[in-house]
Structure 1
Amino acid sequence: MSRRSPLTLAALATSAVAGLDVTHAAPLGGTGGEVDSALLSTRDGRTLVIRVPRTAAAESEQSADLVAVRALSDGVRARLPFGVPRMLGQAPIDGTRAIVSEFVDGAPVRLDAITPGTAASIGRAIAAIHALPTSVVADVGLPQLRAIDVMREAVTTLDRAAATGLVPAALLRRWELAAEDSALWQFTPTVINGSLSAASFLVVGDSVTGLLGWARLQVGDPARDLFWMLGSSNPDVPETAFDAYHQARGVHDREVGRRAVFAAELELARWLLHGTERRSTEIVDDAVGMLHALLDRVSGDLTNPLAAEPTASLGLDEVDELLERGTPRSPGSAY
């Protein structure tokens, strides 16, 4: 299927939103090859976005995102220090649907471009999500995971990864010891976005102005929203973000940093499992290379697992790349 032009999308938007008068349409960058999108200017001075999924995976993600965004009522949005795009209308097209939503100002960020100032704003933004009442999730039937569910899902992932025979034995032992550490799993689940990466955030200057992608909104482990920052090559970035997060939350989860390390490492195992399920030699080889590189980085910590300073950079920049690629996981996945 050829890509839909901005003019075609603008015409579609007028059928999705009654009375909409579009005066200008331009391509919208950063949405990837699975979505047709355009930035629209309207006669009444608004800036809107229209998106049409091109694949079944993108359509599924869009549907889940809509459920989550609808759960964010005006009262909930008022508690967040950033904007969340609001859906204005939809229209059927070619067996899927076009969604028109508000435009939130800001530029997407890259992990390697995050400054300590931006990291502090990101930490506060994540803390605001985690401070939302769990009824936001419960009232719309989205997943609610207990701490034991998070632990069991992690164990299932490492067991499946072990069954491939491709994970270094020393890494498996490191993960098994972490899973068996009861102190690690003593936490109170919170509302989490569930799919954060650097690309999720829109910023102006050093301030987070918007957050995109809510398809995995759920109650779960706060570490799920934090671990991607450990991939920064600048150790000040995770340290500043975690500090700002704890200050804004006012609740100190002593083990959130260690669980974040665990989650970051397990993301490589997930990539391996994705490759084996797809029977992709390329992905499997990529994942095995990442696992051996991780083994080299943590080799001095294997007998005292996850004991390194939890807010220090792990150099796992590939983890953020995997998150931006959309490493598959079930909607209720803890990690």
Structure 2
Amino acid sequence: MARSHLTLAALATSAVPGLDVVQARKHSQGAHGLFDSALIIGSDGKQLIIRVPVSQSAETEQSADLVALRALTVGNRSRLPFDVPEFVGQAPAGNTRAVVYELLTGDSFDADALTGHVGVSGSIGRAIAAIHSLPTSFVAEAGIAQHSAQDCRTSTIDLIDRAAATGHLPAALLRRWELATDDDALWQFQPTVIHGSLTADSLLISDDAVSGVLGWSELAVGDPAQDLTWLLAARGEASETALAAYNQARQGSDHRIAQRAMLYAELELARWLLHGTDTKDQTIIDDAIDMLDGLVDTVHSHTTHPLNPTTGPALEVSDIEAILAQTPRTAVTHEPKGSMHTDSYEVSDVDDSRFIPSDFSDSEFAPRDPAETAAYTDADLRDALGDAGAGAGAGADTAARTDDQASRRSSSE
């Protein structure tokens, strides 16, 4: 049974010494199935969010998020043009723990709205670039996962091989993706600090600028293309502005990043298929097959244009984010200390190395010969988005996945 906002308020007073609660109310954002959550207002006017995980996977995510927030020290945060959630306190809550964060100001919007405004889009590009410009040393010091370009390439090949082994991967897509992994030039990039699970839901907007970034549980060093996948799928007219602002801030240091992000988006369908086969859920398997077939149709319908880095993948951003929400992203190699069987533990007790972000599908997409691998233009792709969504059971199944995406909202929501 879900904990009431009054129960959560009582837990908050245990977690934060001296807290005098004057108001508490249910906080639904970010709590769809993963957390019991409430907004707490203290007598000093401070607004806090308290969250209690309701499953082992939610607790693992929360623990990883705390490791990342701990690593993002004052010095690191000062390099970012936005706020990051602040850990305030914790308290035992049955077999798990309640964690309290400061509430970040700002509003949430979907990806198309975020990329529909030039000013906001530019701020998004610069915000992502700021994350990627952080020094990688602090990630190593925190014991958080680091992946080389070759690691990213190898894990991508493994992902494709596993998807092919299901027998459900169309030959045209297998060929298309293998061409990408065979192209050495696609993997000549410098790994950076990455958010790791960035979507529109991760961003808070105030005064037409990014004011906060949430959900840091998959912080790592890896392929920066991973953080751009959702952006390239957005339909807003100013989506290209975000990418241009990003490239300008990063001084164009990674010329193939958009192409790798596009491939990564397509490979989310492979992840979705594997999730279905791993869980033996035929509904998910059928959904993935339909979406893969839709992607094949798009690829083979448009063969006259080389793949353009400014185009998006043949998926609607809501499809990508919904799949990201449903598909397990974090591989835990050991039982974390903060398991549901432990009453509580301090943030300093977390073994950082136990939270290993998912393997990467970070490659670029530049066929050796345009005739070998079909491609498509921006307009073609956007026309195909509806086909991919419709063919994937866009009704109840997609709605359910979209609802669950909200549950991945960040630690301060």
Q: TM-score, normalised by structure 1?
A: 0.95
1:219 aligns with 2:245: no
Tell me whether 1:83 sits opposite 2:83 in the alignment.
Answer: yes
CA distance in 2, matches of 1:230, 1:161: 24
Report the Cα distance in structure 2 between the residues aligned to 1:315 and 1:149, rounded to whole angstroms.
26
Distance, in Å, in 2 between the alignment partners of 1:135 and 1:249 is 18
Q: How far apart are 1:119 and its partner, in Å?
A: 2.2
Q: Which runs of 5+ in 2 are unaligned?
A: 332-355, 362-413
Contact 2:266 2:313 survives alignment (8 Å): no
1:200 is matched with: 202
Whether 1:186 aligns to 2:212 is no
Shift of 1:241: 1.3
Distance in 2, matches of 1:215 and 1:123, equals: 21
Alignment correspondent of 2:22: 23
Change (3 A) 1:255 1:300: farther
Give the aligned residue type for 1:209.
Answer: S
> How far apart, in 2, do the equivalents of 1:14 and 1:24 lie?
12
Equivalent residue number for residue 334 of structure 1: 360
CA distance 1:291–1:232, shift in 2 (3 Å): same
Distance in 1 of aligned mates of 2:254 and 2:295: 26
For 2:48, the equivalent position in structure 1 comes to 48
Over aligned residue pairs, what C-alpha RMSD do you find? Answer: 1.6
Q: Which has the higher contact order (CA 8 A, sep 6+)?
A: 2
User: Counterparts of 2:312 and 2:161 in 1: how far apart (Å)?
Assistant: 27
Q: Which amino acid aligns with 2:65?
A: D
Which of the numbers 128, 131, 134 marks the counterpart of 2:133? 131
The Cα shift of 1:204 comes to 2.0
Distance of 2:297 and 2:204 partners within structure 1:
34
* Percent identity for Structure 1 against Structure 2: 52
TM value normalised by structure 2: 0.77
* Mapped pair 1:299 → 2:303: no
Task: Give me the whole-angstrom Cα distance separating, in 2, the residues matched to 1:119 and 1:29.
Answer: 27
Q: Deviations over 1:203-247 (max 9, x none)?
A: 12421111111111110001010111122233531x111101011
Q: Which runs of 5+ in 1 are unaligned?
A: none
Secondary structure in 2 matching 1:107 = coil
Number of the residue aligned with 2:112: 112
Q: Distance in 2 between matches of 1:275 and 1:325?
A: 10
Q: Secondary structure at the match of 1:161?
A: helix
Specify whether residues 14 and 64 from structure 1 end up closer, same or farther in structure 2 by C-alpha distance, changes over 3 A only.
same
Letter in 2 for 1:298: V
CA distance in 2, matches of 1:303, 1:183: 23
2:71 — aligned with what? 71
2:244 matched residue in structure 1? 243
Checking the alignment, whether the CA contact within 8 Å between 2:272 and 2:327 is kept in structure 1 is no
Matched letter for residue 309 of structure 2: P
Shift of 1:313: 2.9
Letter of the 2:290 counterpart: G
Contact 2:263 2:313 in 1 (8 A): no
Return the offset for 1:302: 7.0
